[in-house]
Structure 1
Amino acid sequence: MRRGLAIAAALLLLALPWLLHAVLPANQAGFWTGNILGRALVFGIIAMSLTFLATYGGFVSLAQMMIAGVAGYALAIFVEGAVPRIVGGAGYALAIPLGVLAATLMGLLVGAIAVRTRDIYLLMITLAVSMGVFRFVETNITWFNGYEGIRNVVGPSLLGLDFRNPWVFYHVTLGTAVLLFAGVMYLVRSPFGLVLQGIRDNPRRVSALGYNVALHRIAAFGVAGFIAGCGGVLATIYNIGISPGTIGLGATVNVLIMAVIGGLGHPVGAFLGSLIFTVFDTFAATIYDRDRFNTLIGLVFLVIVLASPDGVLGVGARLRRLLGRRAADK
């Protein structure tokens, strides 16, 4: 049943741009496809890296947006056509893997720094690392162009198709998200994933069985770094560049809000939370007031968390249990 639902959801997401095009004018359909759904998928990927660590590793990292930014900066530094030119000369076929590799290495580094911490201490040390990188990037002119950042990262041409086309961007992002999601679901059922979940529940017992707890935790941060790096590359292309604000405190907290709103119990919650956040972020001026967005999303966050500490996924689980009880009573 779960596989059937997953296949149905994938087909619906694949066909969604055409459904939007059928019911909306062309410009509105393109806006919803690229600026709402595409953006939600991009930041859902980054939020999924946090959810992976929290759900299966038992530790919440506030460094995931910074790690995604490392991938974006690496892409912007090496790719041909970026303004200003830092290194340049590389095509997207080379610059994108370099960006993802840089994010994976940064994830491993963060994991090595935070390997002996847990709970609030891990949360704070990952936040400290994130803010340290943010300040370094903001003040470094030579490599990161300081406050202005690097622009004109327009994305590659895929089989003659413009990456800036909303439909092309959406389907590439959707394909990336599906592959990463499937990879996470496979990984958590592998021996590595099972050991990681054992470490989450009882690290001493896992250590007594002969597993290297520290190494598994660092490797988990590396996997999360790879996922965040993929999202960071797509986010940089979506924004046509990158600046320090992309990895600042506000962006870091936003990713955490997305993950918590959707629910930390399953990776799909990251995408649900990202979609809710993106909709409110886009239409805040219409719903309430653009300058009061933080108040609006804060109220939404409080309502969801108070109604269901497990996020939107928790609401769904409660509804399933309620319907199951009613069916049993009949």
Structure 2
Amino acid sequence: MRYALILIPFLVLPLLLDDFWLTQVLTRALILGITALSLSFLATYLGVVSFAQAALAGAAGYTIAYFGPNSVEIGIELPFWASIPLALIIATAFGGLIGLIARRSRGIYAIMITLAIGVAFFYFTRQNYAFFNGWTGFSGIRAPLIGELSLRAPVPLYIMCLLTAGLAMALVDGFARSPMGLTIQAVRDAPGRVMALGIPVTTPIVAAFAFSGFLAGTGGILNVWFQERISSFTVGFGPIIDILIIAVIGGLRHPSGAFIGAIVYVLLDTFAVDFIDRERFNLLIGSVLLLIIIVAPNGLQQLVLDGGTRLRGTALKPDKNP
């Protein structure tokens, strides 16, 4: 219910904003936020930072491209109601496989394993032409038509991404409160005690990565419809780092912070070219990230929460004047 109330103000934005702001800023931020949410979920509830989220999103995106309409004449065209579940299943299974591989790793070792998987997937897509069309990738990918409603139009695409983001946050909240979610958090805090109770730690770790893959796959599907293309550059080292930056800006320990980080990143990426050369964008985003880490080590979401707490404390403080 609370997520529905949060979404209500955003549902009226199409009446106030033009197509540029609606599509290039808000819709893009929502898509990146959903993908970054998959990373924040792992960092928050399992205590693992994964660099494989771009690969998970790319796996779903490539599935939509291969089993949907495209302009490169590669693949098998299926109806969208079949290709979407297939893409989510592949992304979820891929996430579970990564969890199985990285189940014994923590800290820098988990980072290196997931980074190796992400980079390996990037080179695999670049070198394989039968399924991924190599360097060129797929183009001409369109969001589906549902009757007379075109999901590729700015307003329907924005509404779809907004509702999907709200559903993703509700799923994360529900999953975290479920018995499996509580077990995942127990594995994060005290894996030795979990094993002493006779509970194998592999199952919750794989489940966490699989759920993360589902979230990343959702973002990957929306992204391929938004971009209308996908290639090896979509899953390269740049997107891998971008997802991490977005999650860190919002706050790795706060899943909802992924969307705050996404809007900050998109605003910088969209309007920075008005002030600096495009080649210097990495310097700008690096400086912003450093400033945020210094001012708010736990991300902007924690900064907002702390500010709200201080305001409530001030409002509840009794008046000492007679």
TM surpasses 0.5: yes
Percent of paired sites with the same residue = 42
Residue in structure 1 matched with residue 247 of structure 2 by the alignment: 259
Task: Classify the secondary structure of the residue corresponding to 1:138.
Answer: helix
1:11 to 3, 8, 11: 8
The one-character-per-residue Cα deviations of 1:102-143 (angstroms, maximum 9, x if unpaired) are 111110111111011111000000000110111011011222
Please tell me the residue identity of whatever aligns with 1:76: A
Residue in structure 2 matched with residue 159 of structure 1 by the alignment: 147
Unpaired runs of 5+ in structure 1? 21-28
1:78 and 2:67 aligned: yes
The one-character-per-residue Cα deviations of 1:253-285 (angstroms, maximum 9, x if unpaired) are 000000000012221100110111011111111
Residue in structure 2 matched with residue 213 of structure 1 by the alignment: 201
1:57 to 31, 42, 46: 46
Unpaired runs of 5+ in structure 2? none
Contact 1:68–1:232 under 8 Å retained in 2: yes
Quote the Cα distance in structure 1 between the aligned partners of 2:4 and 2:217. Answer: 26
Quote the Cα distance in structure 2 between the aligned partners of 1:164 and 1:30. Answer: 12
1:138 to 126, 130, 144: 126
Residue 304 of structure 1 deviates from its aligned partner by 0.8
Residue in structure 2 matched with residue 88 of structure 1 by the alignment: 76
Quote the Cα distance in structure 2 between the aligned partners of 1:65 and 1:315. Answer: 27
TM-score after normalising by structure 1:
0.93
Contact 1:150–1:242 under 8 Å retained in 2: yes
Quote the Cα distance in structure 2 between the aligned partners of 1:154 and 1:323. Answer: 46
Quote the Cα distance in structure 1 between the aligned partners of 2:7 and 2:42. Answer: 24
Task: Classify the secondary structure of the residue corresponding to 1:117.
Answer: coil
Quote the Cα distance in structure 2 between the aligned partners of 1:34 and 1:260. Answer: 24
Residue 85 of structure 1 deviates from its aligned partner by 2.2
Equivalenced residue count is: 318
Quote the Cα distance in structure 2 between the aligned partners of 1:62 and 1:231. Answer: 15
Aligned ranges 1:112-151 → 2 under 5 Å: 112-151=100-139
Residue in structure 2 matched with residue 249 of structure 1 by the alignment: 237
The one-character-per-residue Cα deviations of 1:227-266 (angstroms, maximum 9, x if unpaired) are 1001101101111010000000010000000000001222
1:199 and 2:207 aligned: no
Residue 89 of structure 1 deviates from its aligned partner by 2.4
Change (3 A) 1:78 1:7: closer
Quote the Cα distance in structure 1 between the aligned partners of 2:305 and 2:152. Answer: 38
Aligned ranges 1:269-288 → 2 under 5 Å: 269-288=257-276
Residue in structure 2 matched with residue 39 of structure 1 by the alignment: 28
Please tell me the residue identity of whatever aligns with 2:11: L
Quote the Cα distance in structure 2 between the aligned partners of 1:82 and 1:56. Answer: 38
Aligned ranges 1:183-194 → 2 under 5 Å: 183-194=171-182
Quote the Cα distance in structure 2 between the aligned partners of 1:12 and 1:287. Answer: 31
Residue 325 of structure 1 deviates from its aligned partner by 4.4
Residue 290 of structure 1 deviates from its aligned partner by 1.9
Quote the Cα distance in structure 1 between the aligned partners of 2:74 and 2:94. Answer: 20
Quote the Cα distance in structure 1 between the aligned partners of 2:166 and 2:134. Answer: 34
Quote the Cα distance in structure 1 between the aligned partners of 2:167 and 2:49. Answer: 23
Change (3 A) 1:7 1:233: closer
TM-score after normalising by structure 2:
0.95
Residue 318 of structure 1 deviates from its aligned partner by 2.4
Quote the Cα distance in structure 2 between the aligned partners of 1:189 and 1:63. Answer: 25
